[in-house]
Amino acid sequence: MTATADLKEFIAAYLVEAEEHLAVANSQLLLVERAQRDGETNPRAVRETFRSLHTIKGLSAMVGVEPVVAIAHRMENFLRDSDRSGGALPQSAIDALLAGVHAIEQRVAALSRGDDAAAPSEELLASLDSLGLAPVITPPPTAVLDLEPAMLAKLAPFEVDQLVRGIAKGQRALRAEFSPSPERAAQGLTINSVRERMAKVAEIVRVLPRAVPVTEAAPGGLCFVLILLSLASDEVIASAVGLASTSLQSIVRSRAELPPELALDAMDGLSALIVTRFRLARAIASLTERGVNTREVSEIMTDNARQLRDLRAAIVRVRMVPVSELLERIPLLVRGLQRATNRAVRLELEGGRAELDKSVSERLFPVLVHLVRNAVDHAIETPDERVRRGKPEEGLLRIVCGSHSNARLEITVSDDGRGIDRSAVSRKAGRAVPSDDAGLLDLLCIPGLSTREIVTTTSGRGMGMEIVKRTIVEELGGELEVHSQFGQGTTFTLRVPLTISIVDAFSFECGEQRFVVPVAMVDEIIEVDPDALVHVPANDDGSPAVDIISRRGVAVPMLQLAEIFRLKASRNGASKAIVVRRAGAPVAFAVDRMLGQQEVVIRPINDVLVRAPGVSGATDLGDGRPTLVLDLVALSASLNGGANLLPRA
């Protein structure tokens, strides 16, 4: 039999670990103190301090360091009681605990030098014995959390509180699931590594094991549920951790009484109904052509159209949330940021009464958070600096939401801070200094630029401008603009559709092809008078030929859609033009003829081979053939790289 182990041999390893735990205890106590000064509590930090002292006590007992056992034991007892009563500590207790940690540090240092650990003074032990607790804190409400009761029951009151506060501050509360397997372990994916990576992109509130049926995905019959708070998007979290983004799910209870997924099902059902209606309308039209009397059927169709519109409005209403809901979480966020960054910020919010689709709102919120963080953390100067620059001590952050048209919401986020230094940004990006705001935005949206440049406590994580652009422009089909004056401030303007997926659209024909364009995007449809056109020949640079038409005395550039898409030009030349506005300026697209106006279901085109600038999706007009949905605003932008379409004189 092997000789009995001598635990005294572990003293060196003990001292190393004790120092680690002392460092944790010190930093956690400082967090407790900071919370106490802010009139808040930090129960998690109290629990972490407790755990450190508890471990120190256990280890010290094993290697026989009695003086440390005596001190740690008293601190541990008090911290256990504090943990149970919600983590509120009076300042006197925090001071005594810091003194206790210091006393242990002295003894660990003495042992490291090879000296003995001195017995603690009676005074220290007495002060630790007589610590008083702060009043008990009542547990927070849990109604906002969408978790099954068994899961909710396992959360400590302080963890529920952490979640509720996080949500109020604008963080997303999520659950992520991870099922361990031998293959994942071989790839380095274990609960410890998942936890460690997750901690970099999210605040981990709790991790709970859950037994699940044994499947291929969960060969151990086990699934870990990580309860999180984060500002990052599902995709960012999932890719940082190495999980599928489908393993993430929001746990914030929705305000709508109808569960959102049910509203989505209803929307899908409605989409199918609308397509069926198109087919019916076509069938009736061909009957009419053959001389059949379809008057009665046509009247029924009119009723049917109205009913479908009402149904659609009802479903959309369920999915609509007021814009004010999007904004109500901003003040808390700004307050927290001010404290963290030592800025003084006056926040002005103008929400209006617009409502927008919940799915749009959910995508928009992280973008707003990002812009607000950037403004407070980077744009607005410290009060001293502002005074030196002759600005009011308090910076101004203004967020204004308003309906841009009946289908678009415009949000501006402006600050009166230092503005964007174009030359610094261009240096960082390794590109030429941008000549205008559009060029500046392109630089800001270079992947990795903004996040790499600026790493601070509040903006170090989360998303960069490129994700803002991706969300607004690509996901939502909206517009993003920046206007910045160095030294004066920056304004970001976002325009997004209020709803997605079903829109009112004009259908038209061009080069023997059918297209649709959302009504909301169209400024006007005008007649084209061939005699009043001024033709401008195409440039060598490949940009298309431009005609100039006069609209109420104003020159408007007109592009031939048939030429852009290389379609057969029509015999009689274009008769109509669709006018859209890009960044406020009108642009016309010549088309052969308008067909009508109808509601269409936009299906995204996910095939990268088919995806093209200016094409926002596909729809079915009832003939079973896909019809392209055009985004003429984006199309005009893609044609000339942001330069003015009007030829220079």
Q: Are 493 and 483 in contact (CB under 8 A)?
A: yes
Indicate whether 422 belongs to the interface with another protein (CB under 8 A): no
29, amino acid identity: L
> What is the nearest approach in angstroms of another protein to the Cβ of residue 137?
22
**Which one of residues 23, 37, 40, 58 is an interface residue with another protein (CB under 8 A)?**
58
> What is the nearest approach in angstroms of another protein to the Cβ of residue 165?
20
**Which one of residues 84, 195, 483, 551 is an interface residue with another protein (CB under 8 A)?**
195
Instruction: State how far the Cα of 412 lies from the Cα of 480, in Å rounded to an integer.
Output: 10
CA 603 to centroid of chain Cα atoms: 23
Indicate whether 221 belongs to the interface with another protein (CB under 8 A): yes
280, amino acid identity: L
Indicate whether 182 belongs to the interface with another protein (CB under 8 A): yes
> What is the nearest approach in angstroms of another protein to the Cβ of residue 117?
16
Using CB under 8 A, which residues numbered 103 to 122 contact another protein? Answer: none
> What is the nearest approach in angstroms of another protein to the Cβ of residue 206?
7
Indicate whether 13 belongs to the interface with another protein (CB under 8 A): yes
> What is the nearest approach in angstroms of another protein to the Cβ of residue 67?
15
User: 51 or 603: whose CB is closer to another protein?
Assistant: 51
Q: Are 507 and 523 in contact (CB under 8 A)?
A: no
DSSP track, 376-439? IIIISPPHHHHHHTT--SSEEEEEEEEEEETTEEEEEEEE-S----HHHHHHHHTSPPPSSHHH
Sign of CA dihedral 583, 595, 356, 370: negative
Q: Are 583 and 441 in contact (CB under 8 A)?
A: no
**Which one of residues 19, 51, 260, 362 is an interface residue with another protein (CB under 8 A)?**
51
> What is the nearest approach in angstroms of another protein to the Cβ of residue 16?
8
CA 112 to centroid of chain Cα atoms: 49
Indicate whether 23 belongs to the interface with another protein (CB under 8 A): no
**To 5 degrees, how large is the angle CA 565–CA 566–CA 571?**
110
**Which one of residues 119, 185, 217, 244 is an interface residue with another protein (CB under 8 A)?**
185
**CA distance to 538, 547, 580, 646, per residue, from 535 (Å):** 9, 5, 20, 12
Indicate whether 208 belongs to the interface with another protein (CB under 8 A): yes
Instruction: State how far the Cα of 544 lies from the Cα of 534, in Å rounded to an integer.
Output: 15
- The candidate with the shortest Cα–Cα distance to 361, out of 302, 311, 308, 401, is 401
Place of tokens 């630029």: 449
Site track for another protein across 623-642, x = CB under 8 A: --------------------
User: 57 or 378: whose CB is closer to another protein?
Assistant: 57
**Which one of residues 99, 110, 137, 191 is an interface residue with another protein (CB under 8 A)?**
191
Indicate whether 378 belongs to the interface with another protein (CB under 8 A): no
User: 13 or 285: whose CB is closer to another protein?
Assistant: 13
User: 191 or 569: whose CB is closer to another protein?
Assistant: 191
Residues β-bridged to residue 212: none
> What is the nearest approach in angstroms of another protein to the Cβ of residue 29?
17
Residues that bind another protein (CB under 8 A): 1-5, 7, 9-10, 13-14, 16-17, 48, 51, 54-55, 57-59, 61-62, 64, 154, 180-182, 185, 190-192, 195, 206-209, 211, 219-222, 224
